Structure 1
Amino acid sequence: MNRFSACIEMLFAPETADFAQRIHLAKAAGFELVEFWMWSNKDLDAVERALGETGVKLAGIVAEPFAELTRPSDHERFLAGLERSRDVALRLSAPVLICQSGPLLAGVDRASQYEALTRAMSRSADVLNGSGVRLALEPLNDRVDHPGYFLTSTAEALDIMDRVNRPEIGITYDLYHSMVMDEEPEQVVARRIGHIAHVHIADHPGRNEPGSGRLPLKQKLRWLEAQGYRGAVGLEFRPTGTTTDALRVMRGSLR
């Protein structure tokens, strides 16, 4: 699988604070794809220029604003922001916008929050209809990185995709978060590979480069590929040292 995307929020950050310059560093390191998180705090002119100068493609960005999609009263704010995020994605030719569910709300039954999240995804599909941009809802672990997060189950996220049943909506499948939650990709994804719009990887413990921990990332990536996944694989990890050294360890472990 050669569709690795450098998450330049983490990779090349030790080398330069100049965000757009990280795109040039990614190109020099052999990447044809990069991704990042929020767009509203970036110099988009500089990013667009760097993408054009290097020929590097943008695999994805975050759909802003972060919202409590488990709370119906927050949906309008998110959908208004999604329109702006869609327009930025189109400007930068990013095919994927990544979003999160928001927190598990106290005092509200889980079924109601699940229904609210499902409705948010359905309405998001309408916003993205005809744009070619896909929204990718991301399950996260609540054991290490995101205590109090609602959507920790990949199977539950895929159930939402089954219910929404719109091509504009999928999931970001993060192998790190999934396996921290003791999920086995072969079991939780099974035959629903078509719902995966984007993939992230990092090792555990530490959320560092593949090869630094104990997760069988090579085998799991090969399984996803064998099931037909052909999208980008985002390298969303913290290098333990320099990015160059981390990439050397990663490539050795995944070869």
Structure 2
Amino acid sequence: MSRPVPGVDPLPTGGHRARKRFGQNFLRDSGVISRIVRAIRPRPGERVVEIGPGQGAITELLLDAVGELDAIELDRDLVPGLRTQFFNYPGFRVHQADALAFDFAALKGEGVPLRVVGNLPYNISTPLIFHLLAARGSIFDMHFMLQKEVVERLAATPGSGQWGRLSVMAQYHCRVESLFVVPPEAFVPRPKVDSMIVRLVPHETPPHPVDDAEALAALVRQSFSQRRKTLRNNLKGWLDADTLTELGVDPGRRPETVSLEEFVRLANRWHRDRGEPPA
């Protein structure tokens, strides 16, 4: 029999054991749960989608606030328990599915934009964020619990060690706000790292409009393909040193020093000149 974690509600009798392959760490601290829901500020009539509800720690408070909720849960063993736990909420719908392949645009349909919430598994957090950024047209906002390091990357500034492809693309598409830290003691089992709550709000109009978002994504990916190399090397065959200089960007700089506005400038020029990535 496992010992309860001090200050944390114990698992219910017969509770589901967290599975490492799904990256499961169940949030059990009622104070943290309440603080997260207060940060989300759910209201009646909103369309809330929860990724990875687990054992429903946050689900109940969200349902009480909005009246209906779509939950996306990969672990099929958790789905029957969720349906039983929330059987008296007619607006509760659980989808046994992989969020990485889930069609969020289809879920929205003709309805109001989605408010997406989730305690994201650390092992898939970055690809899942990119998947959701691709569906941003169907999303009003996103609130996630992530590994603190990932949130620091999302909210990073140029010149910092965390600034990278994730930072550039997230900030191009969204306003990023890091909210507060969640310590390991709030979970069962305890993760080995701190977690953090982040808010992502898709821009109605990007702060630096790009001619083609796919061109920006391709150029940023190429620029960070070898972080320790300069733009001159990483963008060889894309933009030559003279063009970089003409655009006001020193070709000897490393990608982690380049701002979002500068990446947009480079992507616009490359797209106008070539339009397709080099073979």
**Superposed pair shares fold, TM > 0.5:** no
Please report the TM-score for the alignment, with normalisation by the length of structure 1: 0.32
Higher RCO (C-alpha under 8 Å, 6+ residues apart): 1
Larger radius of gyration: 2
Please report the TM-score for the alignment, with normalisation by the length of structure 2: 0.30
